[in-house]
Each structure stands twice: as structure tokens, then as C-alpha cells.
Amino acid sequence: MSAAAIEDVYPSRLTSEPQFNARVDPVVYGGGPGSWLSPEDLQHFEEHGYLFVEHLIGTTEVRELADELRSLSRDEHLRNQEEMITEPGSGAVRSIFRVHRLSPVFERLARNVRLLDVARQVLGSEVYIHQSRANFKPGFMGKEFYWHSDFETWHVEDGMPRMRAISVSVALTENYSFNGPLMVMPGSHKTYVSCVGQTPEDHYKQSLKKQEYGVPDDENLRRLAEGGGIVAPTGPAGSAVFFDCNTIHGSNSNITPHPRTNVFFVYNSVDNALQEPFCGLEPRPEHIATRESFAPLTPVERG
Amino acid sequence: MSAAAIEDVYPSRLTSEPQFNARVDPVVYGGGPGSWLSPEDLQHFEEHGYLFVEHLIGTTEVRELADELRSLSRDEHLRNQEEMITEPGSGAVRSIFRVHRLSPVFERLARNVRLLDVARQVLGSEVYIHQSRANFKPGFMGKEFYWHSDFETWHVEDGMPRMRAISVSVALTENYSFNGPLMVMPGSHKTYVSCVGQTPEDHYKQSLKKQEYGVPDDENLRRLAEGGGIVAPTGPAGSAVFFDCNTIHGSNSNITPHPRTNVFFVYNSVDNALQEPFCGLEPRPEHIATRESFAPLTPVERG
């Protein structure tokens, strides 16, 4: 990377007042490998910062992934690993990190050519996985995730230099409007809302359970929601939402009997490899933000 | 009332196992005054236990009600009254009880001929107000209300003998799918789920903030949701959901910037006046369950 790459073009958690700044990076970089998305899809992603694809993966594969996830969440050995995040209070499994390294079934999904092609088309380069996780929102007592831009945290706490990463959330259960589906604020990816407050040490241990820093203020959230509204895509298991690293998103609680489970991959451009964290603290651990290797991911077709 | 009326046909909180029993009362009693609902509406209510009406009241009246509610929630004198329920933690106003007695504007709404006609048509008699309240689910931090049948509580804690009451929730802000709208389980009104656990003294002081007794168990909630699904009617301010006293309902949290405010009236049949509470404890206070008068409500037309 050139020396210019480590300039902090997206400062946050440095001032006592939140700032509302324009994004300086492209959304769709173009020119990369991959051809799965149509020009209209790319245009939609550029404009709104997300793309919903129904039936991205088939019923058989969904079942296989759900079974694998059940095994992982019952694995007594994993219970004691830092990859496993539990709900405060109940102790129920909330997330399993680095799921594509813990399980060959999930590794295959991460390298599914459709997912990979979307990432490569949008980011205009080869990509690697910055973070992966399975998220469980159990029935009856699923907790909310408050609004945030992932990029703000990845930049400040992980040292991701620029906005050149894309996330995909693949639903392994049906997403109804009422079981706490992912909500996005379309268009919010074009603005960078810097947050107030200094990052505490080992912030990740708390923030994965309840986010308190890196959270946009009410006034700017209202402004973004007025700009482009709120969308909560719903659809059967196997559907997916792709969204830009800077798209503001969150989800409400889930008191229905229907659990909401999804798997989440973050593809980062190999030309956007992590630097030192911009907050000046130690990097977060490997299972939350990979630094071991920024080598391109290669696609697999299902055998 | 005859002596037979005080027989406890809906026992609850008496056994250590929940019971799943058929309703013994009609849903639509028929033969009462009022003609606003069509036979199809009544049929829908009978079958599903709820009825959604868009634009029940007009924009001007919505504005007037919202303004009045703002005044009430800022009223310093009211702040110290038991009618005012605040969020645990933030102290924000969550509910104002007995709102039709605190404000002539809300009294007029309670006596609106359309609301009253629905209640009288369904219950087949004259009606009075058993309880009224305004509910605030603020933006960003609106808390969930867990699933419950109102009748279970009104029966056990207030001594309401039979299922012959109907509620209406009138929206004073737009109900989106994502700002914690009221969810109902259609068809659940035909089953009485008795709950486990004994009622503690002064239970209402806690239950209005967080319900722990009178909550159906997971297995029966799942069974009811499998039977008739879950519906969350959405629509503009001024829309209303009528629902049977025994319809299971609840709502998720609200992290969106859009507050959800509604006003809620419970019409009880004058032939179903309160007895002693079936739990053997003291009755709940007047602002939660009226005992002063069971006199019929008379309609007003808007002047």
C-alpha cells in the first residue's frame, strides 16, 4: 500500500460533536471480475447502498447450512471459544464468528460464485473475507441491534482505510416483517456520520453484546431516515441482502415464535487491506477482523 | 348479576402447568344497537378476533388528539399521578391511563359513534369503558410489549366474569411494519390459555412496566401462531385495530426514528360488570379498571 492510504479520510470518535460528511470513495468501483449482476442491479446498489436477492441459494443448501449451524452451536468445545458470543442474561448463542473457518460447509458458501461475483463486480477487484459470522435471533426473546455503519467501526477499530467492502446477509430462516428483519436506510451509504466519544480498550468485548460507541446520534439518524426512508426486505430462507460497508442498518427485537438466523460475510477488496487501527489502540482479534492473509478468495461451484 | 356470573369459568394462575381450553363465550353476541359494521366485517371479527379499519378518524382530529396528548405528557401535575407510567431507565412517558377522564378531547373520541357502534354491535349490548390509555412507543428506544391476552389479566386481577369486551387501538402516528406495530395472532381469541404462577400483591405496579405473570408459555404461543399466523396491520395515523379481549397480541421494540403513539379504549358490556377479582387479591385501582360506574356510554357526533 502507498503511504497515502494510511491518511485518515474518515475520522470519527475524535470530536464532541457528530459530523455529517460526504463519502469520498466510489460505491461501485467497476472493472473487476464477475458478471452476475445486471447493469440495473449495479445501478440500484450504487444509488441505494443495498440489493435484495430472493432465492440466492436453494432449499437443499439452506437445510444443509442450518443443520451445520445447529451442530456448531451445540459444540461443547466451541462454547468456550471467543468465536461464540452469547446473550447477556439468558446465555443463548447470539453469534458465531469466523464461521467460514470453523466449518467447510460455510467456507463453501463464502466462496459461492454468486456471492463472490457480486463482491468482485461491486468492488472492482479480487476480494477476501474480512469477517464472517452467523447471527441467531431466537424466537420469543431476540434482542435488537441498534443502528450503525459497519465501516465506522472497521475503520476506527480495525484500520480499514477506505470504503471498499461489501456485506452479504444470507437468511437461513424466513425473514418476516415481524421477526426482527434487517433494516437498512437506503442512501445512507453516501454520507459518513462520525460518532462522538473515545473508543475504550477492548471495546469489542462489550460492543458485540451491546453497542455504545460508534453509534450515530439521533439527529443524524433522523436526517438519514428522512432522506431515503427505511427498508426491511422480507423473503424466504435462502434470500440475501447485499449492502455497502457504510449503509446504516439495524434490527428490532423478536418476540414472535419464529427465530431469525442468518449468516453474514464481509468481502473486502484486496486493495483495501487493513492498516493500524485509526483509534490508536491494539487491533481487534483475528476472529473479528482478519489480518493473517489478504489473499484473494477463489470461487467454488457446488459439487 | 345472577349468582352464576361469579363462577370462575376461566381459571388461570392456579396450576403449575398451562392449560389450553376452548372459549365458552360467543365472540359476536349480536342483537345490540349500532349498524356501522357490515355482516362481512362481523364475520371477519368472529373468525379472526380482530378488524383493521383504515382512516377511522380524519387528519384534523388526529392532529387535535396528538396535540392534546403532547400537552398531557408535559403536564407537571400529571407527572406525579399514578395515571402516568414511565419507562424503566429513561423515565420517558410510556402510557397515560384513564385518558378519557383526564381530557374532554379523548372523552369525545371514546364516545365517537363509529367506535361505540362497533363495540355495541359486537357485544350485543350497551357498553362502558373498562380502561383507557394512551401508549407511547418513542423513536430510537421504544420497548417491546410481550404477548398476552388482556382478558386473562382482566379476569384474574379485575374480576371481569366473561369474554364480552372489545378493545380498539387508534393510531395517532403512522404504523409502519418496522416501528413496533401491534401484532395479533388471528384465531387465538377462541382459546383460553391459562397461565402458571400465583399473582403477587400489587402486581400491576410491575406488570405495567414489564409483564411477568399472565404470560402464555412458549409452547402454547407457538401452537397459536402456527394455527392462525401473525398479523401486524400497518397504515396511516387515524387507522384503528379493533380486537377481542382474548386475542393474543404484543409488539416488538422500535429503534426507528418514527415514534408509535396510539390511544386504546376497552369497551366492556354493561352485562359483564366487574366482580371481585378471581385471584382473591384486592382489586386494581380505579384508573386501571373502573368500578365506579358501569353506566352505558352515550355517543357524540363531532360538532
| pLDDT tens, residue by residue, B63-104 | 999 999 999 998 888 988 999 998 777 778 889 999 999 999
Judged by phi (left if over 0) then psi (alpha if -120 to 50, else beta), residue B150 lies in alpha
Cβ contacts below 8 Å, chain A against chain B, sum to 66
Question: For residue A221, which residues of chain B lie inside 8 Å, CB to CB?
Answer: 140, 257
* Nearest residue, CB atoms, B230 vs list A178, A218, A232: A178
Residue carrying C-alpha cell 436526517: A223
Please tell me which residue of chain B has the smallest CA distance to A259. B222
Residue carrying C-alpha cell 381459571: B11
pLDDT tens-digit series, residues A249-287: 999 999 999 999 999 999 999 999 999 999 888 999 999
Q: What is the rounded average pLDDT for all residues in chain A?
A: 91
Which band of pLDDT confidence, cut at 50, 70 and 90, is reported for residue A4?
very low
Q: Which residues pair with B266 in a beta bridge?
A: B131, B167
Residues (pLDDT < 70) of chain B are 1-5, 206-213, 301-303
Residue A20: the pLDDT is: 87
Please tell me which residue of chain A has the smallest CA distance to B257. A222
Rounded Cα distance, B275 and A289, in Å: 63
Residue A214 vs residue B77, higher pLDDT = B77
Interface of A with B (CB under 8 A): 139-140, 144, 146-147, 176-178, 180, 183, 218, 221-222, 225-226, 230, 232, 250-258
- State the ipTM, two decimals: 0.88
Question: For residue A216, which residues of chain B lie inside 8 Å, CB to CB?
Answer: none
Query: What residues contact residue B297 under an 8 Å CB cut-off, 6+ apart?
Result: B110, B111, B116, B126, B127, B128, B129, B267
Asked if B147 and A180 come within 8 Å (Cβ–Cβ), the reply is no
pLDDT tens-digit series, residues A149-193: 999 999 999 999 999 999 999 999 999 999 999 999 999 999 999
Asked if B147 and A255 come within 8 Å (Cβ–Cβ), the reply is yes
Percent of chain B with pLDDT over 70: 95
User: Is pLDDT above 90 for A30?
Assistant: no
Asked if A257 and B225 come within 8 Å (Cβ–Cβ), the reply is yes
Rounded Cα distance, B45 and B34, in Å: 15
Rounded Cα distance, A301 and A109, in Å: 10
DSSP A10: S
First-last CA distance in chain A = 37
Question: For residue B218, which residues of chain A lie inside 8 Å, CB to CB?
Answer: 139-140, 257
Q: Please choose, from the candidates A114, A167, A169, the residue with its C-alpha nearest in 3D space to the C-alpha of residue A136.
A: A169
**Nearest-neighbour CA in chain A from B160: distance (Å):** 27
User: Structure pTM?
Assistant: 0.90
CA torsion angle B202 B204 B207 B213 (round to 10) = 60
Residue B303: the pLDDT is: 46
First-last CA distance in chain B = 37
Q: Which residues pair with A127 in a beta bridge?
A: A269
**Nearest-neighbour CA in chain B from A227: distance (Å):** 12
User: Is pLDDT above 60 for A209?
Assistant: no
pLDDT tens-digit series, residues A54-99: 999 999 999 999 999 999 998 988 988 999 998 777 778 889 999 9
